[in-house]
Structure 1
């Protein structure tokens, strides 16, 4: 069954006119990650490549296309985790970085820390030779329109999250059985400056352990943090649940306990995978055994053959 890579483009509600571009985006990202795995690359390289492609796609709330905070600025969070050693890297509230996931990978590889934030993360990025980009290059007209629409005391906090997919992420298991995850986000629309959600928190936004599997989450960050959703799902898998059943159990507990909606992509060490969500939609795609699977609504399972002409 190995290798496998599964990606998500965020849980939430997206207008029909934007769903096609979102579906194409996750398919392109999963193809990118799967190409690395087919060529013998690592799960970690595959998830970073897949999420980088999503960060570069303005249809998603990560990298270019990130939602804006209350001041109209982009502040992004990202994490990566290697299931072989539990090595982890994360960044939070970073600005002027095109690919926060790659910066998180450098935090893991080049420092003794797990997470760097805001100005310190920017200083580290410069030391690593990562070129800063103008904030305007990360802001789309769509993001600015939604920011303006949801300013002020009359804005509906539920409606403000509609019309845009959320956090992006990927999980993978490579041919050697190593698991990895990566997650990246622009956060919540019109959030307070300095707000950090679940994505940068190991065990909430994602977790990977070769002994159990890997999870990447998306949804309401504050609720995800309260139940450490990624680690909760892997706990259920440790108790013998399948990837799908454990994902459903974690999502159900989160909804029951703190009233939050979310979505996850999950893999186990054998390559069984799941894409599950309690929100109305979650755009996702998976690649395994030369087949690409994708969907957006609950119950979707569209499949196509992966060939080398794409």
Structure 2
């Protein structure tokens, strides 16, 4: 079986002057993970490697480049799921680790599913994962955004949907054995309430994988995605629809039930890709059958 991988770099309104950065970023993620899959690596290793590339890229709202909360701090969430076993690992509120998906992968290997804040960071240290000064995660772009938005009286994070980046990153892959995995990583929403946890680290909300159906990773405002369990709902749609239809159905469910806006990438258990969004744009890339990479800043229909 030929392997597959698809990644996203967020769904929002991407200004023309920043589109090339997003194209380059999602392309680099696929190019880093695809050779691993061709060499027989597990789907888990591939999605972790792809997300690592985007966590280290200041273009996105994940790892370096993440948004600041209302207290001017960065809090990172991430998750990874194994479609073969349904094992799941998630972390939330991480401040001192650039690649929180690596912590999530370690959590997946335990009997637990989700660790938060100081407990997640202590666990990461016990696993020997590299810690960073939180200032290494901060970019001038996000500091300026924080100063602009948090000075507004009565500001709500959802008010910023149109002009503000929502560059959550994610990946879904199938390895040569037909196993599927998904991973997602994010800094959340600008000026969010400290301690707020979005959809990305929650099983079935922002991240889901099941060999019986497929895998999915979401990006957008997390509260609606959580309330509709959008990735699990979209994967359930794969039982009677192809991946493109299922992705559309997931987003349509979100909008119909909670008036939500998001983007979704998918991979079904036949190796077919799906993607859909009801935001202005979504950045994504995938490997074609011959290993070449298609990257796009896609515009909504």
Quote the residue 2:90 is aligned against. Answer: 90
CA gap 1:227/1:299 in 2 versus in 1, 3 angstroms: closer
State the secondary structure of the residue aligned to 2:77. strand
Quote the residue 1:233 is aligned against. Answer: 234
Quote the residue 2:65 is aligned against. Answer: 65
User: Structure 2, unaligned stretches of length 5 or more?
Assistant: none
CA RMSD across the alignment: 1.4
C-alpha distance in 1 between matches for 2:159 and 2:13: 10
Per-residue deviation, 1:270: 1.4
Quote the residue 2:26 is aligned against. Answer: 26
Per-residue deviation, 1:291: 2.3
Quote the residue 1:303 is aligned against. Answer: none
Contact 2:166–2:220 under 8 Å retained in 1: no
Contact 1:2–1:288 under 8 Å retained in 2: no
C-alpha distance in 1 between matches for 2:17 and 2:235: 35
Contact 1:78–1:101 under 8 Å retained in 2: yes
C-alpha distance in 1 between matches for 2:117 and 2:164: 28
State the secondary structure of the residue aligned to 1:19. helix
Residues 1:43 and 2:43 are matched in the alignment: yes
Per-residue deviation, 1:165: 3.6
State the secondary structure of the residue aligned to 1:34. helix
State the secondary structure of the residue aligned to 2:66. coil
Contact 2:246–2:274 under 8 Å retained in 1: no
C-alpha distance in 2 between matches for 1:118 and 1:39: 36
Quote the residue 1:164 is aligned against. Answer: 165
Per-residue deviation, 1:295: 1.3
Deviates more, 1:1-10 or 1:84-93: 1-10
Residues 1:293 and 2:301 are matched in the alignment: no
1:158-206, CA deviations, whole angstroms, 9 ceiling, x for partnerless residues?
5534242421000001111000000000001000000000011000011
Q: TM-score, normalised by structure 2?
A: 0.96
Quote the residue 2:126 is aligned against. Answer: 127
Spell out structure 1 runs of 4+ moving beyond 6 A.
none
Residues 1:193 and 2:194 are matched in the alignment: yes
Contact 2:283–2:297 under 8 Å retained in 1: yes
Q: TM-score, normalised by structure 1?
A: 0.93
- When the two structures are aligned, how many residues end up with a matched partner? 298
Contact 1:14–1:165 under 8 Å retained in 2: no
C-alpha distance in 2 between matches for 1:167 and 1:70: 18
State the secondary structure of the residue aligned to 1:172. strand
